[in-house]
Amino acid sequence: MPVQDVTIRRVDADTAEKTALTDIHGRYYFPDVPYGPVTLHYEKAGYEPLVWSFSFDGPTQVVYVQMANLDELLDDAANNIQKRDWALASSYLDRIKKIDPENSVAVYLDAEMLSRQENFEQAVALLEGLSSKKDSSFAVELALADLYQDKLGQPEKALLHLRKALTIQDDIDVENRIAFLEKK
């Protein structure tokens, strides 16, 4: 799919750096490109930056590139966690962190991967970091409760996160879990 408003910087040995911006169709144009080695830098917020070097052959040469956006990388990471392809999932998460180091969905996915690899303490550490932010989510609190209750045997901490989950969203199943844990 074409991407509009991508900034392209052209770097070549003989001239000063030039810039262009893609149109609605993802097209751009650089006049007077010298024959020989050229390097293009593609950048847009929310997209993975791309650098491509090639040898320019002539004015009819067309360059096609594909840039990955944050949502695509998050989907790819989640799909590879589902498939238990840890190496590929990790590579997608690393790429996401280069675009948005504080992305909470990527942190959550990283914790999910660690949990599936039975690295429960590391998963909890990541999720606690998300939980401590003022805009924690129901999913984060529920994941922490599950880990504390089922994997780490700490029902008091599970209760804490279940109660926090209820402040975010009403849920009868969470209320029932709280009642069960309070009876123990």
The most distant pair of C-alpha atoms in the chain lies apart, rounded to whole Å, by 78
> What pLDDT score does 134 carry?
87
The count of residues in the chain is 184
* 164 to 111, 125, 158, 168: CA distances (angstroms): 19, 17, 10, 7
List, in sequence order, every residue forming a beta bridge with 164; answer none if it has no partner: none
Strands (E), 44-144: 50-56
Domains (range + CATH), the chain:
7-56 (no CATH), 70-183 (1.25.40.10)
Q: Reduced to 3 states, what is the DSSP secondary structure of residue 7? A: strand
Q: Which of 53, 30, 21, 28 is nearest to 40 (CA)?
A: 53
The pLDDT of residue 33 is 85
- Run means of pLDDT, 10 residues per run, the chain, 184 residues: 94 82 94 87 96 89 90 98 98 96 96 98 98 94 98 98 97 97 91
Query: Rounded to two decimals, what is the model's pTM?
Result: 0.85
Per the DSSP assignment, residues forming a β-bridge with 39 are: 11, 53
Q: Rounded CA gap, 116 and 172, in Å?
A: 26
Question: By C-alpha distance, which of 49, 41, 109 is closest to 75?
Answer: 109
